[in-house]
Amino acid sequence: MNLTSLVDYGIQNEESDIRVHVCPQIRRVYVYPTNCGVEAIETNVYRRVSGYQPGWDKPTSEGYLVPPDCIKHCVELMFRDLAWNALNFKEDDTTSTKGDKAVTLVKSMLKRGLLPLPTESEVIDERDMQISGTDIFVKANCLKERDIRIQVKCDFKGGRKSLGGSGNLFLQVRESNPFGHY
């Protein structure tokens, strides 16, 4: 179904635990707990802007421009050029293609243990457990019996201005989908 008017759809009502913004222009990836992004936009400090897609004269998104340093627990990651070159991100790729490439990059990061996920740890003091080979228990994102849900966004020009980015991450809160891209 194609939606041509903006509807509430974004960080404020998604069910993710972790957000990952893939920023090809500066070849950086930003990772933070989703609730920290929501907290940032709820401060009403950041500018709300409209986004557009080529071939459509009305806004196709609305969101807040938030500097990565202003999102609690946001981590900036850098990878070798080889990873970026293999995916060949292009600014004129469709929204779907950019999203698919971003997911491919994040999937590769996960496979290689390169995506930091928030954890809580407990040092084991029990001598028998230490002898058997357990020194630390780790709980991923403080979740019990549930997978970690990750939302990946291709934020093409996002990221630090000093690296050539916009200076912000785009935290979307409304969207339309006139072309049916997913």
**Own/partner pairs, 80-88, CB within 8 angstroms, 24+ separation:** 81/27, 83/108, 84/24, 84/27, 87/24
Can you tell me the distance from the alpha carbon of 33 to that of 90, in angstroms, rounded to the nearest whole number?
Answer: 27
Can you tell me the distance from the alpha carbon of 94 to that of 138, in angstroms, rounded to the nearest whole number?
Answer: 39
Residue 124: the pLDDT is 79
Residue 69: the pLDDT is 97
Residues in the chain: 182
**What's the pTM value of the predicted model, to 2 decimals?**
0.87
Residue 152: the pLDDT is 97
Residue 22: the pLDDT is 98
Can you tell me the distance from the alpha carbon of 33 to that of 20, in angstroms, rounded to the nearest whole number?
Answer: 9
Residue 145: the pLDDT is 62
Both structure tokens of 131: 């002898």
Can you tell me the distance from the alpha carbon of 104 to that of 87, in angstroms, rounded to the nearest whole number?
Answer: 8
Domain-located, residue 125: no
Residue 177: the pLDDT is 76
Residue 1: the pLDDT is 46
Each residue's pLDDT tens digit, 58-92: 888 999 999 999 999 999 999 889 999 999 999 99
Domain-located, residue 132: no
Q: How many folded domains does the chain comprise? A: 1
Domain-located, residue 130: no
Domain-located, residue 126: no
Residue 133: the pLDDT is 80
Supply the range of the domain harboring residue 85. Answer: 3-116+148-177
- Closest C-alpha to 159, from 11, 27, 19, 18: 27
Residue 144: the pLDDT is 60
Can you tell me the distance from the alpha carbon of 68 to that of 175, in angstroms, rounded to the nearest whole number?
Answer: 22
Give the residue ranges of the chain where pLDDT is below 70. Answer: 1-4, 140-145, 178-182
Domain-located, residue 110: yes
Domain-located, residue 75: yes
Domain-located, residue 138: no
Domain-located, residue 68: yes
